[in-house]
Structure formats: structure tokens, C-alpha cells
Amino acid sequence: MSLRQCPTCDEWYEDPGPRASIHKHPEPQSGPPRDAWLESKLPYERWIKETLEGMEWNEFKTSRRKKNMTLEERQKLRKQQEAKDAKDIEASKVRMAKKHQLERNGKFEKAWSIAWEEGHSNGIKEVEYYFEGLVDLLKP
């Protein structure tokens, strides 16, 4: 075995060896993403949350990771996401009913359905926005 030095952090590890397979850096190592990260002068965690380039890099890494998943892992991840989405939608309905003092009945669900069709592609806040436009029709 030989020793190898990481060009990013100068850490030494055996190559090949157990450390070689896990020695990775999350930040971009080259190209425009790395340039954008360095120019921002932000810590990596803030860069991926607060800048467009960072968000795009993070999405790229995530999609690449998903490609390497097995079918069972993807199905499990999808079910977890669907459960979380259903929970968020129900919480939003409860919040809207409480905020506007509405009864959860067929009219409420129909108004929610209309708001959903108009706004769900832009997120739950947009659905709530459209729902609030229909609230007056639900009040006696």
C-alpha cells in the first residue's frame, strides 16, 4: 500500500485502503461551480442554501445520487416523500379551516380542489393563496 495526499485538504491516507473509498468532499472540486462557491466567500452549507449556483449544484449532486439508487431504495424514498407531502397538505387544510373558521365539509374540499389545481405546481403556499380567494364563497 502507498500513501496518498488529498489535494483539497492535504490529509494523508492509504491508497488503496478503507479511507480512500470514503475520503470525499461535498463541495465542487473544479469548474464553474467551484469558482462560484469560492467567489461567494460563503461556507459550503450556506452556499448551497442561499445562492442559485449552490442550489443548482446541490440538485445536481442529489439527482446523481438518485441515479445510483436501487429500485427498492427509490420506491422507499418516494413513499416517504408521498407520506410527508400528504401530512403537509392535511396540516395546511387544518390551518386554513382554523384561520377562516370553516367547517371541513364537501364545499371546503371542493374549494381546496380548485385551489390545488390552480396552485400546486408552485407549492402549498400558492394553494393556500388561491384557497383564500375562495373563502368568501364558503362562509354562510
Distance, in Å, from the CA atom of 105 to the CA atom of 122, rounded to the nearest integer, reads 25
Domain that holds residue 99: 78-140
Is 119 within the bounds of a domain?
yes
Is 91 within the bounds of a domain?
yes
Is 122 within the bounds of a domain?
yes
pTM: 0.52
Is 118 within the bounds of a domain?
yes
What is the DSSP track for 48-97? Answer: HHHSHHHHHHHHHHHHHHHHTS-HHHHHHHHHHHHHHHHHHHHHHHHHHH
Is 100 within the bounds of a domain?
yes
Distance, in Å, from the CA atom of 120 to the CA atom of 89, rounded to the nearest integer, reads 10
Over residues 85-109, the pLDDT tens digits come to 899 999 999 999 999 999 999 999 9
Distance, in Å, from the CA atom of 29 to the CA atom of 108, rounded to the nearest integer, reads 51
Q: Domain count of the chain?
A: 1
| % pLDDT > 90, the chain | 30
Is 5 within the bounds of a domain?
no
Is 25 within the bounds of a domain?
no
Is 113 within the bounds of a domain?
yes
Mean pLDDT of 64-74: 68
